[in-house]
Amino acid sequence: MEFTQWIRERTDDQLGALVSARPELITPVPAHLEGLAARAGSPSAIGRALDRLDRFALAVVETLAVHPDELTRDSLRDLLARATEEDDLPLDDTLERLRALALVYGPDDALALAPGVRKVLDDPAGLGPPVTEVFRHHPPEQLEEIADDIAPGTEGGGKERLRAALAEPAKLVEEVSPPARKALEELAWGPPSGRVPNARRAVRLATARSPIEELLARGLLAATGEDSVALPREVGLYLREGRVHRDLSPVPPPLEGAERPGSLADRTAAGQAFTFTRAVEELCERWSLDAPGVLRTGGLGVRDLKRTATQLDLPEWAAALVIEMAHAAGLIAAGGNVDGEWLPTAGYDSWRVRATEERWVTLAVTWLHTDRVPGIVGERDERDRLLNALHPDLRRSSAPEVRQATLRVLATAPGLAPSRESVLRRLAWEQPRRRGALREQLTDFTLREAEQLGFTGLGVLSAHGRALLSGSKEAAAVLAPLLPEPVDHVLLQADLTAVAPGPLTSDLARWLTLAADVESTGGATVYRFGEGSIRRALDAGQGADELLSMLARHSATPVPQPLSYLVADVARRHGRMRVGTASAYIRSDDPSMLDQLMADRRAVPLRLRRLAPTVIASRASRASLVDSLRAMGFAPVAESLDGDVIITQLDTRRTEGVPVARTVSSFNGLDPDVVAAAVRAMRAGEARRGPVDAPDGAVPRGPATATISTLQEAIRQGVRVWIGYLDSQGNATSRILEPARMEGGYLTAYDETRAAVHRFALHRITGVSNLS
């Protein structure tokens, strides 16, 4: 049976399962089933499908690939059984899966590979090319000489005689010397190629001197290049005693590691999730006050990363993870044009007011799907350039898939913290074609970062991590009861410190960060009040009474007298001197204070001029004048042209531009309606291979909302519609369509008037009418 005919005979449910498992086959939707079969046999589509196979399923495909003829299910089972000690092979289920993926077709008594699969499989099971292919580029006279030596008296051309002789290579192999046999054994289980000097040398059986020449003269090795040779597939199978694989496990290798109580792992992961979420919030708050600059390459400077790591009390790799996830989630972005800064975005304000569990879900989903890899921060690229945090080149397209595959492995072992080696072994079995140094490195990053984010606790996948991985919307609800309860009070002490006995509520933490400086973190966070921090709160619009009232309301102990005196003293001096624009001016109701300023040598660069006993003018700007006076020990405030005090909200700096954040969503399955519509469109194209005439009469016209709703209903019901469509010159044309899907402002449909699948811009559709 031909592959295309087999595709045509599949039921609608089977075709739906095929395109659901291989969505690239309907991007865009083929015009008919013949087009679907052709696309399913393309090298890129086959490569993607093979990449999704586990080790046993791939072994089934490889076994079929190395045998040119069709195999029965029983013969296939016998071949596979030679490589394993397992009695019960899941062959039936595997064959059904391979049929569903259109990699294998045909009945059980005539199993065949889909067209193109053999070409995509390079050296299947470590076996070299067949004889006819490996000797393809040899001169005919050389093939005749080899055939004369190993098969004298036989009839036919050199290539045919050589193929017949090597089909049963036992006699030829047994004739070679022990060193030559050893060379064959080294190539038997792959890789089937090697390098030897002057591989194309002319050699006959009578003149062979070295072990390699023995093999070349007998055709047991074939030159594939000037310095390369390959072992023919038939010879390799003989050396393997008919086995395609050396050893084969039909089930995944078990995970090994330490067992942990599930409740303990969940609580540990929840605590880490809370810590990570607060670290992101603290990062945004700190950067809103003191934003780091943007490098010319677009990243974050090494010094800024080190400073941030110190402030957050985290290792540099963990600080880079916090920064990258805040950026990927759209909470921070580069602001400014020339000398840009990394600042929080407007999206941070809406994220900050949400519940902690919801904020964590946002960060966790971002980590699952982003293609940015924080783990390579500090490494160098192929041009020996340092990869900084927030650098544009931190993207790796395979990162989301590796993260999710690794977590799915952890999900198979509840209550177990698998070792790194066992996780790598399981991933190698589940996706044997996707292996390499980068994949192993990404797996290591995933295990480390999952613990830091709170996906895992003590190496065990948590309940909320499992819910999020499965796509459940209940992940936040699962996490919420496990989070530590925020406290709304601190312990004020006489040494001008406040001790937070636990995680503070978001509003209290922000206010306390404004009015005090963090002195130490750990089980309890210690804040220290000072003149600078109190003045920072006053500059943000807080009054002395309001500060003391806030402290009294959120303190479990009375406000200490030294702290009250500090607030009152700073508030008394705050604002007694005011700065405006003249370019800028200074005014004060206390002339003696201005006398002191005029006599201070540090004020010379400000080029001050006394205009009145209570007013001094300066050529400096208002901002620089305020900063200079504060550096000299004064406590000025800025005022507007109307004389009103300007309140500077240093903690609410935000970027003006759109945050630059990019995440890559993994494939979570096509919508069933889209699948059904695509199958209907291909069936329709198969039934009507030629174009039909457009209907007579005026083209349909109608409002856009009615057009959209009618098309959506046609997709749902699978019916044809008549539309009016404007071409590139603005002329209205009639089309008969069978809509398949609608997304991104475009309609994908089978156009019966053109006998092909096209995409139609929705804004060009003038109207829709139903066909009777």
**Span 241-251, pLDDT tens digits:** 888 998 888 99
- Note whether 421 and 451 are same-domain residues: yes
The predicted structure's pLDDT at residue 590? 85
The predicted structure's pLDDT at residue 772? 59
Is residue 101 a part of any domain in this protein? yes
492: helix, strand or coil:
strand
pLDDT, mean of residues 705-721? 82
Q: Is the pLDDT of residue 658 over 60?
A: no
- Note whether 330 and 471 are same-domain residues: yes
Q: What is the pLDDT of residues 515-557, one digit of tens each?
A: 888 777 666 778 888 888 888 888 877 788 888 888 888 888 8
How sure is the predictor about 664, in pLDDT bands with cuts at 50, 70 and 90?
very low
Question: What is the domain-level CATH number for residue 14?
Answer: 1.10.10
In the listed set 644, 663, 686, which residue is the last one of a domain according to the structure? Answer: 644
């008594």: which residue's tokens? Answer: 109
- Note whether 269 and 380 are same-domain residues: yes
CA 514 – CA 350 distance, rounded (Å): 20
How sure is the predictor about 665, in pLDDT bands with cuts at 50, 70 and 90?
very low
The predicted structure's pLDDT at residue 647? 65
The amino acid at residue 42 is S
Q: Strands (DSSP E) along 633-755, which ranges?
A: 637-638, 721-726, 732-743, 746-751
How sure is the predictor about 667, in pLDDT bands with cuts at 50, 70 and 90?
very low
- Note whether 19 and 152 are same-domain residues: no
Is residue 245 a part of any domain in this protein? no
How sure is the predictor about 101, in pLDDT bands with cuts at 50, 70 and 90?
very high
Is residue 116 a part of any domain in this protein? yes
How sure is the predictor about 88, in pLDDT bands with cuts at 50, 70 and 90?
confident
The predicted structure's pLDDT at residue 748? 83
The predicted structure's pLDDT at residue 668? 52
- Note whether 322 and 433 are same-domain residues: yes
- Note whether 270 and 347 are same-domain residues: yes
Q: Which two tokens stand for residue 354?
A: 């949400």
Task: Find the helix packing angle between 302-312 and 316-328, rounded to 10°.
Answer: 100
Neighbours of 443 (CB within 10 A): 19
pLDDT, mean of residues 94-117? 92
Is residue 374 a part of any domain in this protein? yes
The predicted structure's pLDDT at residue 457? 92
The predicted structure's pLDDT at residue 652? 58
How sure is the predictor about 666, in pLDDT bands with cuts at 50, 70 and 90?
very low
Q: Is the pLDDT of residue 466 over 90?
A: yes
pLDDT, mean of residues 673-695? 75
User: Could you give the number of structural domains in the chain?
Assistant: 6
Mean of pLDDT over the chain? 86
How sure is the predictor about 659, in pLDDT bands with cuts at 50, 70 and 90?
very low
In the listed set 64, 94, 122, which residue is the last one of a domain according to the structure? Answer: 122
Q: Is the pLDDT of residue 14 over 90?
A: yes
pLDDT, mean of residues 561-570? 86
Q: What are the Cα distances from residue 455, in Å, to 49, 102, 190, 368, 470?
A: 29, 36, 40, 10, 13
In the listed set 482, 506, 540, which residue is the last one of a domain according to the structure? Answer: 482
Q: What is the pLDDT of residues 152-208, one digit of tens each?
A: 878 888 888 888 988 899 999 999 999 999 999 999 987 899 898 988 888 888 888
- Note whether 169 and 284 are same-domain residues: no
Is residue 649 a part of any domain in this protein? no
Q: What is the pLDDT of residues 391-419, one digit of tens each?
A: 988 999 889 999 999 999 999 999 999 99
How sure is the predictor about 367, in pLDDT bands with cuts at 50, 70 and 90?
very high
pTM assigned to the model: 0.73
- Note whether 114 and 39 are same-domain residues: yes
CA 7 – CA 268 distance, rounded (Å): 51
Q: What is the pLDDT of residues 413-461, one digit of tens each?
A: 999 999 999 999 999 999 898 878 888 999 999 999 999 999 999 999 9
Q: What are the Cα distances from residue 571, in Å, to 223, 531, 534, 547, 635?
A: 90, 10, 8, 10, 9
Q: Is the pLDDT of residue 752 over 60?
A: yes
DSSP 718: T
Is residue 254 a part of any domain in this protein? no
pLDDT, mean of residues 267-286? 90
Q: What angle do CA 398, 401, 403 make, to 5 degrees?
A: 105
Q: Which of 357-366, 520-529, 558-567, 753-762 has the lowest mean pLDDT?
A: 520-529
Is residue 449 a part of any domain in this protein? yes
CA 504 – CA 361 distance, rounded (Å): 20
- Note whether 188 and 96 are same-domain residues: no
Which one is predicted more confidently, 711 or 656?
Answer: 711
- Note whether 519 and 455 are same-domain residues: no
Question: Domain of 197?
Answer: 131-239
757: helix, strand or coil:
strand
- Note whether 454 and 583 are same-domain residues: no
Is residue 605 a part of any domain in this protein? yes
- Note whether 547 and 614 are same-domain residues: no
The predicted structure's pLDDT at residue 554? 86
The predicted structure's pLDDT at residue 653? 64
